[in-house]
Amino acid sequence: MVKFQIQDLNIWFGSTHALKNLNLEIESNEILSIIGPANSGKTTFLRMLNRLNELEINFKMDGKVELDKKDIKAIDTQILRKKIGMVFALPLPLPLSIFDNVAYGTKLHGIINKKKLQEIVEAALKEAFLWEEVKDRLNISAFKLSGGQQQRLCIARTLAVEPEVILFDEPCSGLDPISTAKVEEAMLKLKQNYTLVLVTNNVKQAARVGDRTAFFLSSELIEVDKTEKIFTAPSDQRTDDYIRGKFG
């Protein structure tokens, strides 16, 4: 089933044409990996899906992006962002306790019953594979956790608002291999219940985790296909060159 339909999407920041004529479908319950060199448009595309781009100066867009067949521009941003969560490149805990971090989004959307909040926080932390490590110290500042733990906290935070889609913007770029492995493990489990879009600079991570992989270059989508195919026999020579490390 198609979750996102993107048609003829063009994005400009001022005079910079950041994304050119993008056409893409994202399936429900898949993990779509997006690879490509810096400034290729990957993050611009990702941030279009939850309309975070609109906060930038001189943003302009053209084309259509549909979530479940509805134009995302017609959906209220607060509702949209509840459905589409985002995990950022650097772990970004809010200056609150662990518990309050996870509960932040939930409280925003009106749930204030203490018991319910506790249930939701626990469930989210378990889904993010962090519960065992923090269950005894939920009230300490989130900054006291290690980088990998903070990132899983951020995942739990997004899970707590019960989204349908989770966007990952280079989530492991600041993490050590063990933390990276834990985050990837979480992603693979999450696929069952959510649709995941992963932007990554780490080509091998894309191969490990993605069902399908998309290759962006110079603000354009070059090709998208099943991960296996992209990594063994891509249709475009540039994709092949990038994966082999001939440029990057």
Partner 1 sequence: MMINSKRAEKIAFFFLFLATLLIVVPVGMIIVIIIQKGLPAINWQFLSDIPRQGMRAGGIFPVIVGTVYLVLGAIAFALPIGLLAAIYLSEHARDNLLNRLIKLAIVNLAGVPSVVYGLFGLALFVVFFKFGASILSGSLTLGIMILPIIITTSREALESVPYSFREVSLSLGASKWQTIRRIVLPNAIPGILTGTILGLGRAAGETAPILFTVAAFYLPQLPKSIFDQAMALPYHLYVISTQVPNVDEKIRYGTALVLLTLVLFMNLVAIIIRYRFRKKKKW
Which residues contact partner 1 (rule: CB under 8 A)? 50, 52, 55, 57, 78-82, 85-86, 88, 90, 92, 94-95, 104-105, 108-109, 141, 143, 154, 157-158, 161
Q: How far apart are CA 82 and CA 125, in angstroms?
A: 18
Q: Which is nearer to partner 1, 59 or 242 (CB)?
A: 59
Q: Determine how β-strand 2-13 pairs with β-strand 84-87.
A: unpaired
Residue 27 structure tokens: 């399936």
Q: Which is nearer to partner 1, 78 or 192 (CB)?
A: 78
Q: Which is nearer to partner 1, 31 or 154 (CB)?
A: 154
Sequential DSSP letters for 96-161 = SBHHHHHHHHHHHTT---HHHHHHHHHHHHHHTT-HHHHTT-TTSBGGGS-HHHHHHHHHHHHHTT
**Cβ(67)–Cβ(51) below 8 Å:** no
Q: Which is nearer to partner 1, 106 or 219 (CB)?
A: 106
Q: Which is nearer to partner 1, 88 or 131 (CB)?
A: 88
**Minimum CB distance to partner 1, residue 143 (Å):** 6
Q: Which is nearer to partner 1, 12 or 104 (CB)?
A: 104
Q: Which is nearer to partner 1, 3 or 157 (CB)?
A: 157
**Cβ(230)–Cβ(49) below 8 Å:** no
**Minimum CB distance to partner 1, residue 155 (Å):** 12
**Minimum CB distance to partner 1, residue 223 (Å):** 29
**Cβ(153)–Cβ(98) below 8 Å:** yes
**Minimum CB distance to partner 1, residue 161 (Å):** 6
Q: How far apart are CA 6 and CA 67, in angstroms?
A: 9
**Minimum CB distance to partner 1, residue 168 (Å):** 12
**Minimum CB distance to partner 1, residue 226 (Å):** 29
Q: How far apart are CA 199 and CA 211, in angstroms?
A: 13
Distance from the Cα of residue 48 to its chain's centroid: 11
Residues ≥6 apart with Cβ < 8 Å to 118 = none
**Minimum CB distance to partner 1, residue 80 (Å):** 8
